[in-house]
Structure 1
Amino acid sequence: MKRAIITGLSAALPLLALGWALEVFRAVGLALFAEQVLMAMLALTLPLAFLTLSVRGGQRDADAPVPFYDIAAALLGFAAAGYAAVHYGRIFETLFARPVDATIAGGILIVLVIEALRRATGNFLAIIVGLFLLYALVGHLVPGDLQGRRVALDRLTIYLSMDSNGMLGMPLMVTATVVIMFVLFGSYLTAAGGGQFFTDLAMASMGRYRGGSAKIAVVASALFGSISGSAVANVASTGVITIPLMKRAGFRSRIAGGVEAVASTGGQLMPPVMGAAAFLMAELLQIGYDQVMLAALVPALIYFFAVFVQVDLIAVRDGIAAIPEENIPNGRSVFRRGWYFLIPFAVLIAALFWWNLRPGEAAFWSMMSLFPLGFLLRYEGQGLTLGIVWESLCASGRVVVDIILIGAAAGIIIGVLNITSLGFALTLSLIDFAGGSLILLLIMSAVLSVILGMGMPTVGVYILLATLIAPSLIEMGIEPIAAHLFVMYFGMMSMVTPPVAIAAFTASVIAKAPPVGTAVSAVALAWTAFIVPFVFVFEPAILLSGSLGDIIVDIGRLVVGVWIVSGSLVGQLLGPLKGVKRVLFGLIGVLALLPEPALPGNDAVAWATLGLALLCVAIDAVFSRGRKVSGSRKQA
């Protein structure tokens, strides 16, 4: 009985999202408020959460009995959200009067959402939501600039639970119409063998080069990580293949784990999907999705370029060879057997950019393009069957529970910011605390983003930071897209930054390496993610905004600077870098990375910096070659 209920709820959740995204309800003559559909989703999500998650957090064992209090919470959540969904038309018309039934249902929903959130994501985010609710109740007693408006309890409850500016707001709406669709797409793609295909493709293309095992991890995570929605899930899925491969090739355990953690985290920063954050960003900024994708493209490519360069130089330094030829799949064979996995991505791009479909619809048509091929063709024995389609549907429903709860919780936070005016006060307080210094504000924002992002999935990280931190950056004159990418980058770096570093710690378990050592290695490999956001804030050309000349010069300097600094960190470039020479090259690389406002003069200085960096590399190449020739003659 329990399994049947859980299976039914798990399947109904993505089916409801599918019906709403494709406007099926309107097509059959049902005129529904968007908030009604979102309430219906909560009516499915809350019972699913309390039936599958234990009170201590984490998944309950499939055979374990459900305690009576969890059954009561599941029924109460279903009843409260279901009642609000059915009667929302009347509730909406009388919101100003604060109807008692809506207030009671809303209060129950707020409490249950926070408790379910605690079980799904841990204590941290639930505590943050609780603190915001506490502020909403006592904020008028807070002295100073952060003093809020006094709000009656019934008004607060109605606003947060039933208003489109609260729990039923934009974060939950985007989750319902976009994120769930992409989770479903990713689930079917993986079930059909897409994950194995991308791993094999990466192995075939990179395996025969030095350090090929690490390069496979980088490429595979860049290819597949964008649609996974979770760096940890990406580590768990691809890491079981790539980490042992790296260790066998000669990479130290902590470096192998660090490479996988960094590559999987970077997948969330890579267009076109960016773990679904790209669509949220477009909605929040009220700009086209294509603008978000283009702006995010160069920083993401630079991130992976830096990781790729570092693993290549580590392989040179440590003498790590390519993967044995007999273990490398034939590239033509891999492509011939799995070419059809590229079709859904082609359809996705076409649907978004040529057909101008909404993201949810684009994901649907991508799935539809995969289905016939997935049923007819097999890759390494994997393919679609009716049973697998059903299992993937149910699995997707269970996966999105925490994402839906995060969306609802984010709506509560946004509602508190709006109704108490805390959002405006928080923005001014951050600016005042920074003393009007943009650099200090950026550093503060970076630190806060890492702290607030700890332990949360991509969507939750972005929503929270876009709500709390990004407005103060925009108020200081930073371009909105740059501000949002800035906080997202630092929020995602919480995945590899101690003390939480959940992606790095997950990788350390697979690598059987010290957790902190793995996290430290990951931070070193991901150094560009801590530097490049500061660069693109001051140089919008990195985000492909500005003249063609500025774009070419700024990206050129960035590439050269990243290459040289990466070599300095590893201690290897065109030859070994040691002592003073290593420090000197590091300084030259940093000089090339500095944004133009940090350099005296004008564009001529930028060109001179680029030229100096290239000249030093050229001189070192000549001397390195000379030493090799001299050494060869002596041996002769």
Structure 2
Amino acid sequence: PYLKIALAALLPSVLYFFTVWIGVHFFAMRDGLHGLEAKEIPSWSETMGASSFFIIPFAVLIFFLLRLYTPQYAAFWAALSTLPLAFVTPDWKYDRTFLTKIKGAVQEGASQVAMIASICACAQIIIAILSYTGFGVKISTLIVDLGGGNLFFTLVLTMAACIILGMEVPTTAAYIMAAVVAAPVLIKLGIHPLAAHFFIFYYAILSAITPPVCGAVFIASGMAGADWLKTAGYSLRLSYAAFLLPFVFIYDNSMLLITGNLFDTLLCVIRVTMAMIFLSAGFIGQFRRELNIPGKIVLLAVGVLWIVNHWLWDLLALIGTILVVWDRNLIYRNTPNPQNVESERMRSDG
């Protein structure tokens, strides 16, 4: 049933976004970025009032998606629903400058579409090579055969196959193609069918942020006016830890709520949360203070220990966590933050 599938996807999706959030936090700490001062933070009523202005297009988008229309069709009507909003301000008062707003939106939209279209046209070269030669399907078939019955090796090769297929076709098509080839192999190796299909679908989605094609990165960088290569680098560093999540629910089905009890699921979530924190910190190079190379290796090792579902590894991970937190707190208390020192210097110079 659809509800069972949706519930199974709940925890992996929440943990993925938690990983992205914690990665953004570590990037902000590393680069000395700070939040707004208390006086600059809008009140709750102001925030809700301004947010309500955007409910209409999102409601239209969700409505059409729930009615099983295509994403393109839903996006078209959601965009069209914003047109009447040009006549009012965010506080729902008549806006006399609506013509200027519409003109600016059309110009900005055309510019962004041109940028995205040019980038996608370049990416199409890679896509065409993979598609017309059938290279993607050949690679996926080959690497699954190379697994040789070893579960971990087969999972790694299946991951690569899903990402390669996701470069040349949309996510749904990539999932179908990879599922036909890889899902039976994974199920024969003892993987729960739902977990096997989730594993394949997850990596088909992650192909959208994996170079060299990384279609989602092209679109996001075009909209933000950022360099796509740097954006791809940031997206990978934010999601490196998330690439390990499917391995967790393959070896521990309690994350998908299909086996085990509430205690098993809670234990799994705690382990994965700790793993994502330490892996993100290790990949980004920030934990209370900037990390050197040995520090990154230690945090990555602790993160990997948390990933494995075994009491001995959990014990080692707990000991490692205590030592790392103790060490980083000592460094935090005894070492001034270079970013804060620079900020204070700039304030005094100003």
* 1:332-347 pair list within 5 angstroms: 332-336=45-49, 338-339=51-52
Secondary structure of 2:23 counterpart: helix
* 1:612-631 pair list within 5 angstroms: 612-627=319-334
Distance, in Å, in 2 between the alignment partners of 1:477 and 1:322 is 48
Distance, in Å, in 2 between the alignment partners of 1:557 and 1:304 is 16
* 1:426-465 pair list within 5 angstroms: 432-465=145-178
Distance, in Å, in 2 between the alignment partners of 1:330 and 1:462 is 44
1:580 is matched with 294
CA distance 1:455–1:502, shift in 2 (3 Å): farther
Once the two structures are superposed, residues 69-96 of structure 1 have per-residue CA deviations (whole angstroms, 9 ceiling, x without a partner) of xxxxxxxxxxxxxxxxxxxxxxxxxxxx
Among 231, 248, 269, which residue is 1:555 paired with?
A: 269
Secondary structure of 2:287 counterpart: coil
Deviation at 1:628, TM superposition (A): 5.1
TM superposition score normalised by structure 1: 0.39
Q: Does structure 2 retain, via aligned residues, the 8 Å contact 1:338–1:379?
A: no
1:579 aligned partner, one-letter code: I
Q: Does structure 1 retain, via aligned residues, the 8 Å contact 2:144–2:157?
A: no
Deviation at 1:317, TM superposition (A): 1.4
Deviation at 1:592, TM superposition (A): 1.0
Once the two structures are superposed, residues 59-114 of structure 1 have per-residue CA deviations (whole angstroms, 9 ceiling, x without a partner) of xxxxxxxxxxxxxxxxxxxxxxxxxxxxxxxxxxxxxxxxxxxxxxxxxxxxxxxx
2:315 corresponds to 1:608 = yes
Secondary structure of 1:500 counterpart: coil
Once the two structures are superposed, residues 587-631 of structure 1 have per-residue CA deviations (whole angstroms, 9 ceiling, x without a partner) of 11111122x2xx5xxxx32541452243124312541354159xx
Secondary structure of 2:286 counterpart: coil
Distance, in Å, in 2 between the alignment partners of 1:430 and 1:450 is 12
Q: Does structure 2 retain, via aligned residues, the 8 Å contact 1:317–1:572?
A: yes
2:10 corresponds to 1:297 = yes
* 1:29-178 pair list within 5 angstroms: none
Deviation at 1:436, TM superposition (A): 1.0
Distance, in Å, in 1 between the alignment partners of 2:67 and 2:165 is 28
1:531 aligned partner, one-letter code: L
2:2 aligned partner, one-letter code: Y
CA distance 1:329–1:584, shift in 2 (3 Å): same
Distance, in Å, in 1 between the alignment partners of 2:16 and 2:41 is 26
Structure 1 stretch displaced more, 563-572 or 331-340: 331-340
Distance, in Å, in 1 between the alignment partners of 2:43 and 2:323 is 40
Unaligned runs of 5+ in 1: 1-287, 352-358, 364-369, 383-425, 630-636
Q: Does structure 1 retain, via aligned residues, the 8 Å contact 2:140–2:158?
A: no
1:483 is matched with 196
Q: Does structure 2 retain, via aligned residues, the 8 Å contact 1:430–1:472?
A: no
Distance, in Å, in 1 between the alignment partners of 2:35 and 2:189 is 49
Q: Does structure 2 retain, via aligned residues, the 8 Å contact 1:337–1:379?
A: no
2:247 is matched with 534
Secondary structure of 2:3 counterpart: helix
1:501 is matched with 214
Once the two structures are superposed, residues 272-320 of structure 1 have per-residue CA deviations (whole angstroms, 9 ceiling, x without a partner) of xxxxxxxxxxxxxxxx112111111111111111111111111111111
Q: Does structure 2 retain, via aligned residues, the 8 Å contact 1:574–1:620?
A: no
* 1:337-486 pair list within 5 angstroms: 338-339=51-52, 360=67, 380=90, 432-486=145-199
2:319 aligned partner, one-letter code: L
Deviation at 1:576, TM superposition (A): 2.8
CA distance 1:580–1:289, shift in 2 (3 Å): same
Q: Does structure 2 retain, via aligned residues, the 8 Å contact 1:299–1:543?
A: yes
Q: Does structure 2 retain, via aligned residues, the 8 Å contact 1:567–1:573?
A: yes
TM superposition score normalised by structure 2: 0.66
Distance, in Å, in 2 between the alignment partners of 1:343 and 1:579 is 48
Structure 1 stretch displaced more, 488-497 or 328-337: 328-337
CA distance 1:511–1:542, shift in 2 (3 Å): same
Once the two structures are superposed, residues 174-229 of structure 1 have per-residue CA deviations (whole angstroms, 9 ceiling, x without a partner) of xxxxxxxxxxxxxxxxxxxxxxxxxxxxxxxxxxxxxxxxxxxxxxxxxxxxxxxx
2:16 aligned partner, one-letter code: Y
Unaligned runs of 5+ in 2: 71-77, 94-138, 337-350
Distance, in Å, in 2 between the alignment partners of 1:296 and 1:564 is 23
Rg larger in structure: 1
2:226 corresponds to 1:519 = no
Q: Does structure 2 retain, via aligned residues, the 8 Å contact 1:574–1:621?
A: yes
Aligned length: 284
Deviation at 1:341, TM superposition (A): 7.4
Deviation at 1:484, TM superposition (A): 1.4
CA distance 1:289–1:313, shift in 2 (3 Å): same
